[in-house]
């Protein structure tokens, strides 16, 4: 589609770089913005621009935060002896939404993936080891690995476990099994197999 204005074409191209947004949606966004009050459009531009300049990361867990320490790391109500290791900030939000976890987090910023050129040094792994070794902010008794069940996630789990075991910390992973509400017949074999293998006493459920 040929656009009658290079300014519009540039905006469409930039908007089409958003995930799941094609040229048609990007054009719809741009034409919508053209009909909005200029100050609202400027506000959108500014808020996007600020993502590159104003976002800070928590000194301890590497989650995003307005302060030096994120609200979770600085909360006296959280159990500071448990650290849940996740791939990214989305995962922190997903676990927080369950309201089932009261410990702290550690955001790796990815998983080990040689194909994508992501190695151990590209992730927040050294700071996790230091955190457990030095007891920062306080003594860590358990590390929960909550990484994705992909080859990369498993590699990272394996590496972290190897580094953490000598420090005398308990290392656990989140339970995998048939999702609540799902029919057994539609669960994949590996998931169903794991949920039988790791069955739990009925009174603990």
Q: Which is nearer to a copy of itself, 152 or 164 (CB)?
A: 152
| Subset of 116-175 contacting a copy of itself (CB under 8 A) | none
d(CA 46, CA 14): 15
With a CB cutoff of 8 Å and minimum separation 6, the contacts of 29 are: 15, 21
6 near a copy of itself (CB under 8 A): yes
With a CB cutoff of 8 Å and minimum separation 6, the contacts of 94 are: none
28 near a copy of itself (CB under 8 A): yes
Number of residues that bind a copy of itself (CB under 8 A): 59
Q: Which of 75, 90, 150, 165 binds a copy of itself (CB under 8 A)?
A: 90
Cβ 96 to a copy of itself, closest distance in Å? 7
With a CB cutoff of 8 Å and minimum separation 6, the contacts of 75 are: none
d(CA 87, CA 111): 6
Q: Which stretch binds a copy of itself (CB under 8 A): 64-72, 126-134, 147-155, 174-182?
A: 64-72
d(CA 30, CA 195): 48
Q: How close are the terminal C-alpha atoms of the chain, in Å? A: 57
What DSSP state is assigned to residue 178?
P
Q: Which is nearer to a copy of itself, 29 or 159 (CB)?
A: 29
50 near a copy of itself (CB under 8 A): yes
Applying CB under 8 A, which residues contact a copy of itself?
A: 1-8, 10-11, 13-15, 17-21, 25, 28-34, 36, 38, 40-56, 63-66, 70-72, 88-90, 92-93, 96-97
């Amino acid at each position: 589609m040929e656009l009658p204005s290079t300014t519009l074409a540039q905006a469409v191209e930039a908007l089409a770089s958003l995930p799941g947004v094609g040229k048609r949606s990007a054009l719809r966004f741009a034409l919508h913005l053209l009909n909005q009050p200029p100050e609202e459009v400027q506000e959108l531009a500014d808020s996007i621009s600020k993502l590159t300049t104003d976002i800070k990361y928590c000194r301890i867990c590497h989650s995003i935060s307005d302060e030096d320490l994120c609200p979770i790391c600085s909360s006296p109500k959280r159990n500071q002896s448990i650290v849940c290791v996740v791939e990214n900030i989305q995962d922190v939000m997903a676990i927080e939404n369950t309201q089932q976890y009261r410990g702290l987090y550690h955001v790796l910023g990815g998983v080990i993936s040689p194909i994508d050129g992501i190695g151990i040094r590209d992730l927040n792994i050294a700071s996790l080891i230091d955190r457990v070794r030095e007891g920062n902010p306080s003594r860590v008794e358990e590390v929960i690995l909550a990484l994705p069940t992909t080859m990369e996630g498993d590699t990272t789990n394996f590496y972290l476990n190897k580094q953490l075991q000598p420090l005398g910390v308990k290392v656990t992973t989140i339970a995998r099994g048939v999702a609540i509400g799902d029919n057994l017949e539609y669960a994949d074999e590996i998931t169903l197999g794991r949920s039988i293998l790791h069955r739990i006493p009925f009174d603990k459920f």
